[in-house]
Amino acid sequence: MATIFVVWHCKSNCHHSVQWITQTIAAVNCLLLALLSLMIKDNPGAAEDLLLIQAIRNGDQPALGTLYDKYAPALMGIICRIVHKDAIADEILQSVFQVVWQKAGSFDASKQSVFFWLISMARHTAIDKMRIEQLANPGARNTIYLATSPNSNNATAEQQLFELVYFNGLSCAEAATALQVPVEYMQKYLRLAIKNLAGVAEK
């Protein structure tokens, strides 16, 4: 509860500050308040991430290296599942962190965690790249759909739906059509799939 209160409070604070001081100072305020809220919530990992983003904003290059060490493997896991060529995956990973360097100033801690921001960037960059490859090579399209999961043969319909959306960038409706899942079940399936992810991760 405390977290949510502080986060929203911080958002309105941002809004006021913009009128008085500069946008940068407002952003820093926002970040500090979010940081404080995370410390209250006892989430040192996420609090450390915000400190790293703050340092990156100030031009601290080793801080980017620290953020890289912490999250590059997780992002590479996602990127490799989307694009299947090592050289392209390497390029995408590098470009994600270059964007972090350029855009750390516009990161909004009231909207999402640093890690989720990185995950979204990695996914979108990789999916865009994959689409360009598919346009250049339309024959590969169907193969890519089916080759997504190493165990797609015994994956449940929920998992397959999640993977088509998460790794192939299909809209939920497109994924449902591809798997012949009735549209009215689509959202439930997605919820179930994500619940199962958590189960897998906790084991």
Partner 1 sequence: MTSIQEYINSGILEQFVLGCTTDEEAATIAAMATEHAAVAQEIVAIREAIEAFAMEHAVTPNAVIKPFLLATIDYTERLKNGEAATFPPLLHEQATIKDYAPWLNRNDMVYTGNEDIYARIIGYTPEVISAIIWINNYTPQEVHHNEYEKFLVVEGSCEIMIEDEVHQLVPGDYFMIPLYKNHVVHVTSNIACKIILQRVAA
Which amino acid is it at 67?
L
CA distance 121 to 13: 27
For the CA atoms of 141, 143, 149, 154, what is the dihedral angle to 10 degrees?
130
Q: Judged by CB under 8 A, which of 32, 115, 155, 177 binds partner 1?
A: 115
Restricting to residues 77-106, name those near partner 1 by CB under 8 A: 77-78, 80-81, 86-87, 90, 93-94, 97-98, 101
Contact between 24 and partner 1 by CB under 8 A: the answer reads no
> What tokens appear for 48 in the block?
């450390």
The full DSSP string for 1-41 is -HHHHHHHHHHHHHHHHHHHS-HHHHHHHHHHHHHHHHHHT
Contact between 13 and partner 1 by CB under 8 A: the answer reads no
CB of 133 to partner 1, least distance (A): 15
Contact between 112 and partner 1 by CB under 8 A: the answer reads yes
Restricting to residues 149-178, name those near partner 1 by CB under 8 A: 165-166, 171-172
User: How many CA atoms within 13 Å lie on the side-chain side of 174?
Assistant: 9
Residue 158: how many other CB atoms lie within 10 Å = 21
Residues making contact with partner 1 (CB under 8 A): 1, 4, 8, 59, 61, 64-65, 68-69, 72-78, 80-81, 86-87, 90, 93-94, 97-98, 101, 112-113, 115-116, 119-120, 124, 165-166, 171-172, 186-191, 193-195, 197-198, 200-202
